[in-house]
Amino acid sequence: MNEDKLKTTETPAGKAMLLAHYERIIEISKQLNSTFDQRSLLQQIVVAAADLIDTEAASIMLIDTMTGELRFETATNIDPNEMESIIIPMDGSIAGWIATHGEPRVIQDVANEPEHFPTVDETIEFQTRNLLGVPVRTHKKIIGVVMCVNKRNDMPFTSVDVNILTTLSAQAAIAIENARLFRQSDFIAEMVHELRTPLLSLKASTAILLRPDMPEHRRHDIIVTMQGETDRLMRLTTDFLDLAQMESGRTRIQLSQFELRKLLEESAAVVSPQANEKGVTIAVNCEEHTINGDRGKIKQVLLNLLTNAIKYNRPDGTVTLRVIPNNDYQTPMLQIELEDTGYGLSKENQKQMFQKFFRAQSTADTTTGTGLGLVITKAIIEAHGGQIWLDSEEGVGTTFYFTLPMMQ
């Protein structure tokens, strides 16, 4: 294992501190097991790890089930936008060694460690001096690594630090697995419920078509209905897959630099036939701005919002896209606004717009949709480190706002 020698804490004061740490872990485990929000959960873990081990930073890397590589899920010293672009290889990295061997690793001086992976430090402009890492292990397999870096005051890591982080990692593994299982079971139940309606409709339609006395014009109407229900099933399954991948972490944001105005105009052109059919005019007001993000995913967001703005608009209405810098954040952001002249939403409906399968009752019977588009949109925006919200007034229209990081 080639570990540096660890110090122990056997003094009465050290034992008292150890007891206090374990009491803190017990309290943390209660908090971890009371939430199924994985994003919040992982943030609690890294903050607790840095606090208990007394280090400058802590992070959690989970194994990507698609590629087998390690990726940062959360860290106290890395911007979420930077995390997406950092991949930790299994070979040639200390974290990879920990995940592969399933053992803790302590490096008291990384300058003398040939397996240290310097790309992370270079990317985030950070200098790692020493580190402690332990595997995150469920009852079946290792799913990641918890890492603490740079013990404060240049103190060495101790055997007590290893025991504490191992205990915290075990609690974290259970909580992460519980969150995943809960999300999967909850999602499956919702999916089955939503699929039943079009399936029952198709079953009833086929039974009616088998009747020998069915008039030809009625037969045609039923076939059209069946086509509509089949289209609905295809949209549902596509949205289910997108959302499941986003929530499980299997969908990754592929960062690149691109011009936002060109993407806005391109997205508007895609939906222009739908807008023309309803007499809706689309206006794009945007100067030249460079975005660092996943162009395909952001286009998916724009198409979803534009389609909704047309679908729920008045005949001969307007849809306006605007982009303005927003300096209210630590990282410079661009605020994209999409305003329509539709029928607007009640205050109660506005509170539920980003919930799974929610559709406003006033339009649910007259427009098609799965009730998942805005949930997927929100997940994409938040994966970029942005936020999304809306403002609406009944009888006037609705404006969606979302933010994206701006290239400097």
One digit per residue, the tens of pLDDT, for the chain of length 408 reads: 445 556 555 566 666 666 776 676 777 666 665 556 667 777 888 898 999 899 999 999 999 876 788 999 889 998 877 787 788 999 989 999 999 999 999 999 998 898 899 989 988 989 999 999 999 998 778 999 999 999 999 899 998 899 889 988 887 787 777 777 666 656 666 666 667 767 777 887 888 888 888 788 888 888 888 887 787 777 777 766 677 666 655 566 788 889 999 999 999 999 999 999 999 999 999 888 888 888 988 998 999 999 999 998 999 999 999 999 887 766 788 999 999 999 888 888 887 888 776 666 555 444 555 567 888 889 889 888 889 999 999 889 999 999 998 876
**Residue 367: C-alpha distances to residues 224, 308, 350, 398 (Å):** 16, 10, 18, 17
Q: What is the pTM of this model?
A: 0.50
Q: Which helix (H) or strand (E) holds 131?
A: strand 131-137
CA distance 354 to 177: 25
Domains annotated on the chain, with CATH: 12-181 (3.30.450.40), 253-408 (3.30.565.10)
Q: Which amino acid is at 201?
A: S
DSSP state string for 259-316: EHHHHHHHHHHHHHHHHHHHT-EEEEE----EEEE-HHHHHHHHHHHHHHHHHTSPTT
Using DSSP, state whether 386 is helix, strand or coil: coil
63 - beta bridge partners?
70
Using DSSP, state whether 398 is helix, strand or coil: strand
Angle CA 170–173–179, to nearest 5? 145
Tokens of 265: 């105009």
User: What letter would DSSP give residue 36?
Assistant: -
User: What's the maximum distance between 2 C-alpha atoms anywhere in the chain?
Assistant: 93
Q: Quote the pLDDT of residue 365.
A: 46
Could you tell me the strand order of the sheet in which 318-326 lies?
Answer: 281-285, 318-326, 333-340, 397-405, 388-393
HSE-up of residue 144 (Cα within 13 Å, Cβ side):
23
Q: Quote the pLDDT of residue 1.
A: 46
Q: Quote the pLDDT of residue 2.
A: 45
Q: How many other CB atoms sit within 10 Å of the CB of residue 2?
A: 9
